[in-house]
Chain A
Amino acid sequence: MAKYAIEVKDVSMKFNLSKEKVDSLKEYFIKFLKRQIKYNEFWALKHISFNVEKGDRVGVLGLNGAGKSTLLKVIAGVFKPTEGQVVRHGKIVPLLELGAGFDSQYTGRENIYLYSSVLGYSRSFVDSRFDDIVKFSELEEFIDVPIKNYSSGMKSRLGFSIATQVNPDILILDEVLSVGDAKFKKKSEAKIMGMFDSGVTVLFVSHSLAQVKRLCNKAIILEKVILWLPVT
């Protein structure tokens, strides 16, 4: 078994911020002929390398726009890095954008199946966990209502309940500990803490130093380069 859960090897991520968006064929041809296609290159991440050991709980700190979310999305596999590569050992559960893939015309019940399939669960697994999901989200009454009629808190409760059904090896959190009302918040924190105790590797983005101190045993600051911080 590998010692590391995540190996980030010299990862760079470039975005094209074109001044005017060229997305019509006519514009493209005219600009191409005039040789005017230019992009403002923007490197959100530049030569980032670090390793996360198995069982580490790493807090990721940094200013707005430092590339924290981009880094997590690269690790989760949503973005493919422009350069470098990420090696992951084990099953990743990214709690990044809860409910990505919900369809607003679908009912809660239908969305449980849809979102589960997006997360790569199998059908039999969802069947067996369906009642747990509904119970944890406390949406029994509304499960057959189209979720366009849900409040945003209800949606994230449902998303959280579905996403936390598996026991991951690597958990990626982007400030999702604040889901729903006070009561649900407590419950969701307890659930995540339960996962922490079972020894998963955690990557945790937060702006709250206190939270990072409480939850993590290591921390990095992302600011052009990676800085490891001692957590005490």
Chain B
Amino acid sequence: MAGNGMKRRDFLKAAATTPVLGAFGVALYSKESHDKAAREEILRISKKVSGTNPNILKRNYKRSAPASDTINIGIVGCGGRGKSLMRSCGFHPPEDPQPRGLEGQESLNLKLTAVCDLFQPNIDWAVKASGGTAKVYRTYQELFDKSDIDAVVIATSDHYHAPVAVAAARAGKHIYVEKCMTKTIEEAFEVREVVKKAGVVLQLGHQNRNSNRYDSAMEVIDKGMLGHVSLIQCYTNRNSRSGAWVYDIPKEHGPISASSGPRNLDWKQYLANTVERPYDPNRFFRWRCFWDYGTGLSGDLLTHELDVINMVMNLGIPATAVASGGVYHHKEYVTLMTAEGEPLDSDEPVPEGAIPRPDVPVLRRDVPDVFQVVYEWPDRDLAVVYNASLSNNWRRGQIYMGSEATMDLTSGVDVFADAQSKRYADWLKSGKIRPDEPMISYRNVAGKGIEAITAATAQWTVAKGLLYTFRDGRMVSTSYLHLKNWIDHIRDNNTDTMCNIDDGFQEAITAHMATYSYLKGTRVRWDAENERILFDGQESEEAPKELAAIG
């Protein structure tokens, strides 16, 4: 008896602290129910009828056709962006490392059978990447006439987007075209008309639409949590040479000790639809710095902001645009090499004894590096302000300012109740929510290697959702998802892609309204009824003279 008693007492002492685990479980349960109830209470406050934004439906497109048939694609323009798109399609030379963000994703089942580029090393790269299946065409016209492609990826300089897209549509080829969709307003009308008539599937290259943060952002807008949104602020800040489009001029351009001349590239064809000029490698390799070939901050970087704002808010083309800016920082750039004639990276510190490259003249850009635009939608009682600097890296945010709350899409989704909000007044008073802490916060999951991207421009593009997003906890390339969305629509014979021809038309007109306003020095109006552009105080409806050479 005594022995048994001892054992029981021993057991009680051994298990003395076990009930603490039970207490832990009870505490956990009550904490989780409390957190869940608080979240549901915040989401329930919606006053708006949901489902008014058709863009929400587009986001979860599921292909119905099988992917068993191989689709032949071609690439026109296989420079920096073109190569990146080819990698996202699964094409890269065998010696290159595996592209990131494709692990575990479905193969698109494509065959790269045609390539057209004006710079020989780009052509060589594409042929290698295709595994030898790609045939080389010297002009895009020849490519559409003679190749066996079903679809084409267009990643040329901006001044060729529209001509190549129009030729592709006329040849019945499906189109993935980089932004900005066109270089002028006239071209936007032409591309829309030809693409719709041909019935081809077009995807405009705004891959950041696929970033999963917009699912949350659109839910917040759809539920009316912000109240009346009267102002949206968006921006671009970058502070590196490559961020300011001063790319390195490749070694293959030629022996850099010799004087300037076109080497390995087709300068004549490059200029075929713009102003005739003496050869200048800056104008070929750094084309974004010039109105002859690029679309400036509005076409290149503003469109990333305005396109997703259009998707989230379903705005369409603004009624008015006013823009201003100038070349305030990157006035001149001398391309340097070492005394031994080795090319130097424009973003690396300049070593002692560096001298100017004889094959590259001084770069003097004509597109602004500081730029701001105000757009207005009087029918929505809303203004959008964009401003940009290419000589400062401060993060400012894409911020939706509503009468009840503010949504910040800088690096995720954060919704802050407005300190003066009426709807959230009780909660603010009771301390349930605080104006300086988000009441809803959503983050792309950090980790799994994403922080290994260190270049400033790369970090910027990651934060903006331009490189990667997350699907099922995995880091996925947004370009892959955008290309897949296009290919899925081709297989289903459905033209309503993630960024379709109507989205593209709106994107192009919106961007060009800012450019035209800047170049003409006046406010630009969009006459929605007659679909035309008007310039305040100016009779002429012609494009600015800087862009007039196109076509």
Do A and B come from the same complex?
Answer: no
Interface residues of B (CB under 8 A from A): none
Interface residues of A (CB under 8 A from B): none
